[in-house]
Amino acid sequence: MKAKNSFHHLLTTSLANFKRNKARTILTSLGIMIGVLSVVLLIALGVGLKNYLKEQFESLGSNLIIIFPGGGFGDNEGGASSFGPGMMGGTDFDEKDVRNLQKIPEADYVVPIFFKSLTIGGGGEKFTGYVEASNEDVFKIMNLTPIAGRVFTKSDVQRKTKNAVLGYVIAENLFTEPAKAVGKTIKISNQRFKVIGVIEKKGDRELDNSAILPYKSTFGNLNPNKTFFTIYLGVNSEKNIETVKQKAEKILLKRYEEDEFSVTEQAEILSTVNQIFNIVNSILIAIGSISLIVGGIGIMNIMYATVTERTKEIGIRRAIGATQKDILNQFLSEAVILSVFGGLLGLVLASLIVLAIRTVFPAAINLLAVVLAFGVSTIIGVFFGVFPARRAAKLTPIEAIRFQ
Amino acid sequence: MAQGKKTNQPIIKLENASKTYYLGDEKVKAVQDVSLEIYKKEYISILGASGSGKSTLMYLIGLLDTPTNGQIFLNNKNISKLTDQQLSELRNEYIGFVFQSFNLINKFTVLENVLLPTQYRKTQLKFNPQKQAETLLKKFGIYDRKDFFPNKISGGQQQRVAIARAIIMNPKIILADEPTGNLDSKTGPEILTILENLHKSFDTTIVMVTHEANIANRAKKHIYIKDGRLAKKYL
């Protein structure tokens, strides 16, 4: 009962002080609020970015091995920064590589990808999208199902038919109603292609904006060098991923140098990308934390002023039996309440902002952010409050009570 | 002089106590070599001119300050060996202060001010603090002011609140430092009467510091102080 009583007294005293200095209280808390707001928002955006990437990768399906030109992902230095079609160093792959890779028994699918950004016309409209040239297995490996028409087959590839499967967004842009694109003609680099199907919306900007063509049909005008940027391997079982990776490397090493290509599994890419974002996010959070420290210094400043202002009160309390510890606790709890109050405000504001942007971006406030907001603001309150509080506690009762 | 010595041991005893402090570079010998004993049920005045060291002496008696030289005993226990916490607890239990300028905390209501000492008791209280505070306020005729802030009531009322705060823990001694100094000629004596009634009804020891001989004369025992030393007579 006694402890509860003391705690209650600490709280009421603190609140009485805040009430008397409303503007000061709010301004002091504002520093912490801004700090917590920026840190929590940065965490939320980081989480959002990770969620976004994860969604993107998950849409690709599992048991996937990706062969990139150049160092690619993994341990190779600078590899990660060279991500992105056309930006990679190293080699381009060709049909011979595809044929060689098809000899791996555990690889169900070998899917070469040629990728190019260009303007596509159709339905009287023009749209800047992508051409993705591949074989019939691309639809299986990427889980692409048509909402209208059909996807192309092996025979389309072999016969070099001028058939195209459109992504949802490009179909919508050219023909307004995506399903009605089937049977229409589109024009790519002066070549006409017939739309035979439209695939469902995947939420992947590149896929949704692509016209997917049988790769042999692009040899010539669109892909004069008959090369591929990437080759996807679909492995029959998760436990064979490592085997397939090794076999693929062995095959490719016969034609290329070690640093001209990289064989990576999907999980690896995701973890590398996540690592990069974690580092970037940590740096941003560290920068955001500077404002927390500034806020803490604000609290310290105000608390020093408060101690001087309330010297007489300290003397009175000491005279009627407050110990040094009582005084220390009093001022420390005021600093912590100020700080946590700021932290709470920051968290609420961050939540509102995250709620607002959630419609366009999967940002999220996780438990870590909440714990951090409270933990850090408490620690800041204690750390920056303890010096002024100790000054208050160390005042001799006699000097304090004589203070005018 | 023998009145009040019904118990054989003093509550507070000063033995050659001196207090020296520095005001800038100047050495101030506020209290020099003072020995005195305060017993239960005594009503003592400490009379001295301004700057005579009477307030410092009161703070020494009230355990708010420690002597530079000499010893202070509370219930025969040498307080110089006690920690800050122990001294604070003794102040809370044994001593009630009444100041010239009331020293109420303005952000707290009258009732909250009276309750303040109960917040610092480290052991379980033997009474209901709320009820006790209200009883005291009723007794001093200021119950209707219990939710007022100190700066909204008169000086006389403030001093009554201060007395209620001083006695809520049932102290053995009330130390009053010029308790009527900020009051007019009507309310001053009223406050003295309240203190004297406490002394009579509850056997509370009262030590009152003053520079006014007529107020000092109301006490039953007189201590004169001049230049920090006990004097035979007030001059």
Measured between CA atoms, how close is B6 to chain A, in angstroms? Answer: 28
Compute the mean pLDDT over every residue in chain A, rounded to the nearest whole number: 86
- Is the CB of residue B168 less than 8 Å from the CB of residue B202? no
- Is the CB of residue A152 less than 8 Å from the CB of residue A245? no
Would you say residue A81 has pLDDT above 50? Answer: no
Give how many domains chain A has, as a whole number.
2
Lowest mean pLDDT among A4-18, A240-254, A331-345: A4-18
Query: Is residue A371, in this structure, part of any structural domain at all?
Result: yes
Query: Is residue A346, in this structure, part of any structural domain at all?
Result: yes
Tell me the average pLDDT across A82-91.
Answer: 49
- Is the CB of residue A123 less than 8 Å from the CB of residue A181? yes
Of the candidates A139, A143, A133, the residue with the CA atom closest to the CA atom of residue A62: A143
Return the ∠ at Cα B112 (arms to B110 and B118), rounded to 5°.
Answer: 130
Alpha-carbon span A335 to A333, nearest angstrom: 5
Tell me the average pLDDT across A300-318.
Answer: 94
A298: which DSSP letter?
H
Q: What is the pLDDT of residue A113?
A: 92
User: In A, which residues are within 8 Å of B103 by CB distance?
Assistant: 312, 315-316, 319, 401
Is the CB of residue A319 less than 8 Å away from at least one CB of chain B? yes
Q: What is the pLDDT of residue A89?
A: 56
Region of A201 please: left (phi>0), alpha (psi -120 to 50) or beta: beta
Alpha-carbon span A115 to A85, nearest angstrom: 7
CA B201 to chain centre: 18
User: In B, which residues are within 8 Å of A9 by CB distance?
Assistant: 119
Q: What is the pLDDT of residue A392?
A: 95
Alpha-carbon span A17 to B45, nearest angstrom: 38
Of the candidates A229, A323, A292, A274, the residue with the CA atom closest to the CA atom of residue A29: A292
What is the percent of chain A with per-residue pLDDT over 90, rounded to a whole number?
47
Query: Is residue A209, in this structure, part of any structural domain at all?
Result: yes
Q: What is the pLDDT of residue A5?
A: 61
Is the CB of residue B84 less than 8 Å away from at least one CB of chain A? yes
For residue A396, the one-letter residue type is: T
Looking at A229, A255, A281, which one is the last position of a domain? A255
Q: What are the backbone angles phi and psi of residue A231, rounded to the nearest 5°?
A: -125, 125
Q: What is the pLDDT of residue A71?
A: 63
Tell me the average pLDDT across B65-78.
Answer: 93
**A321:B59 CB<8 A:** no
Question: Most B CBs within 10 Å: which of A10, A25, A314, A323, as the mutation test of the B interface?
Answer: A323
- Tens of pLDDT, residues B118-155: 999 988 889 999 999 999 999 999 999 999 999 999 99
In this prediction the pTM is 0.72
- Tens of pLDDT, residues A204-230: 788 899 999 999 999 888 888 889 989
Q: Using 50, 70 and 90 to split pLDDT, how confident is the model at B101?
A: very high
CA dist list (Å): A361 to A117, A201, B7 = 25, 17, 82
Residues 6+ apart with CB under 8 A from A302: A24, A28, A338
Tell me the average pLDDT across A361-385.
Answer: 88
Among A12, A20, A397, select the one facing B64 at the smallest CB separation.
A397
Residues A221 and A330 in one domain: no
Residues A244 and A151 in one domain: yes
Would you say residue A77 has pLDDT above 50? Answer: no
Q: What is the pLDDT of residue A259?
A: 82
Q: What are the backbone angles phi and psi of residue A84, rounded to the nearest 5°?
A: 120, 130
Q: What is the pLDDT of residue A220?
A: 84
Query: Is residue A50, in this structure, part of any structural domain at all?
Result: yes
Alpha-carbon span B59 to B61, nearest angstrom: 5
More confidently predicted of A348 and A50? A348
Q: What is the torsional sign of CA A329, A330, A335, A339?
A: positive
B150: which DSSP letter?
G
Residues A201 and A135 in one domain: yes
Among A6, A319, A324, select the one facing B119 at the smallest CB separation.
A6
E-assigned strands of A99-237? 107-122, 125-134, 146-149, 163-166, 185-188, 191-199, 210-214, 230-235
Tell me the average pLDDT across A150-167.
Answer: 92
Residues A305 and A205 in one domain: no
Query: Is residue A87, in this structure, part of any structural domain at all?
Result: no
Is the CB of residue A394 less than 8 Å away from at least one CB of chain B? no
Measured between CA atoms, how close is B2 to chain A, in angstroms? Answer: 30
Q: What is the torsional sign of CA A388, A389, A390, A394?
A: positive
Alpha-carbon span A199 to B163, nearest angstrom: 87
Residues A374 and A288 in one domain: yes
Q: What is the pLDDT of residue A1?
A: 39
Name the one residue in this structure whose structure tokens are 């608390």: A303
Tell me the average pLDDT across B215-231.
Answer: 92
- Is the CB of residue A111 less than 8 Å from the CB of residue A231? yes
Alpha-carbon span A17 to A25, nearest angstrom: 9
Query: Is residue A283, in this structure, part of any structural domain at all?
Result: yes
Residues A217 and A279 in one domain: no
Region of A220 please: left (phi>0), alpha (psi -120 to 50) or beta: left
Among B89, B103, B107, select the one facing A321 at the smallest CB separation.
B89
- Tens of pLDDT, residues A21-54: 889 899 999 999 999 999 899 888 888 888 887 7
Alpha-carbon span B52 to A388, nearest angstrom: 35
Name the one residue in this structure whose structure tokens are 């905390």: B105
Q: Where are the domains of chain B?
A: 39-66+81-231
The β-bridge relationship of strands B69-74 and A261-265 is unpaired
Alpha-carbon span A258 to A298, nearest angstrom: 57
Name the one residue in this structure whose structure tokens are 């707001």: A37
Q: What is the pLDDT of residue A260?
A: 85
Q: What is the pLDDT of residue A82?
A: 40
Q: What is the pLDDT of residue B91?
A: 95
Q: What is the pLDDT of residue A72?
A: 54
User: In A, which residues are within 8 Å of B107 by CB distance?
Assistant: 16-17, 19-20
Alpha-carbon span A65 to A242, nearest angstrom: 9
| Interface ipTM > 0.95 | no
For A266-279, give the DSSP string. HHHHHHHHHHHHHH
Q: What is the pLDDT of residue B234?
A: 47
Tell me the average pLDDT across A84-99.
Answer: 70
Alpha-carbon span B235 to B231, nearest angstrom: 9
Q: A345 is in which domain, residue-wise?
A: 2-55+273-402
Q: What is the pLDDT of residue B233?
A: 58
Question: Most A CBs within 10 Å: which of B57, B60, B120, as the mutation test of the A interface?
Answer: B120
Q: Identify which of A230-234, A285-289, B101-105 has the greatest average pLDDT.
A: B101-105
Residues 6+ apart with CB under 8 A from A304: A387, A388, A391
Of the candidates A393, A321, A329, the residue with the CA atom closest to the CA atom of residue B125: A321
Would you say residue A331 has pLDDT above 80? Answer: yes
Compute the mean pLDDT over every residue in chain B, rounded to the nearest whole number: 91
Of the candidates A151, A63, A143, A164, the residue with the CA atom closest to the CA atom of residue A108: A63
Would you say residue A255 has pLDDT above 80? Answer: yes
Q: Using 50, 70 and 90 to split pLDDT, how confident is the model at A90?
A: low
Query: Is residue A43, in this structure, part of any structural domain at all?
Result: yes
Tell me the average pLDDT across B35-61.
Answer: 92
- Is the CB of residue B125 less than 8 Å from the CB of residue B202? no
For residue A115, the one-letter residue type is: F
Q: What is the torsional sign of CA B71, B74, B78, B79?
A: negative
Question: Which CATH superfamily does the domain covering B39-66+81-231 fall into?
Answer: P-loop containing nucleotide triphosphate hydrolases (3.40.50.300)
Residues A251 and A277 in one domain: no
More confidently predicted of A76 and A179? A179
- Is the CB of residue B91 less than 8 Å from the CB of residue B61? no
- Is the CB of residue A83 less than 8 Å from the CB of residue A230? no
For B166-204, give the DSSP string. HHTT--SEEEEESTTTTS-TTHHHHHHHHHHHHHHHH--
Of chain B, the end-to-end C-alpha distance in Å amounts to 21
Residues 6+ apart with CB under 8 A from A89: A69, A70, A71, A82
Q: What is the pLDDT of residue A62?
A: 66
What is the percent of chain B with per-residue pLDDT over 70, rounded to a whole number?
96
Residues A250 and A278 in one domain: no
Which residues share a beta bridge with B95? Answer: B173
Q: What is the pLDDT of residue A184?
A: 92
Residues A226 and A324 in one domain: no
**B120:A1 CB<8 A:** no
Q: What is the pLDDT of residue A221?
A: 84
Among B89, B91, B107, select the one facing A319 at the smallest CB separation.
B91
Q: Using 50, 70 and 90 to split pLDDT, how confident is the model at B16?
A: very high
- For B20, counting Cβ atoms within 10 Å of its Cβ (0-12 exposed, 13-18 middle, 19+ buried), the class is middle
Query: Is residue A183, in this structure, part of any structural domain at all?
Result: yes
Q: Identify which of A125-129, A262-266, A271-275, B112-116 has the greatest average pLDDT.
A: B112-116
Which residues share a beta bridge with A44? Answer: none
Of the candidates A375, A242, A399, the residue with the CA atom closest to the CA atom of residue A307: A399
Alpha-carbon span A79 to A101, nearest angstrom: 23
Residues A237 and A107 in one domain: yes
**B97:A398 CB<8 A:** no
Measured between CA atoms, how close is A334 to chain B, in angstroms? Answer: 15
User: In A, which residues are within 8 Å of B91 by CB distance?
Assistant: 318-321
Q: Using 50, 70 and 90 to split pLDDT, how confident is the model at A269?
A: confident
- Is the CB of residue A32 less than 8 Å from the CB of residue A346? yes
Q: Using 50, 70 and 90 to split pLDDT, how confident is the model at B203?
A: confident
Would you say residue A133 has pLDDT above 70? Answer: yes
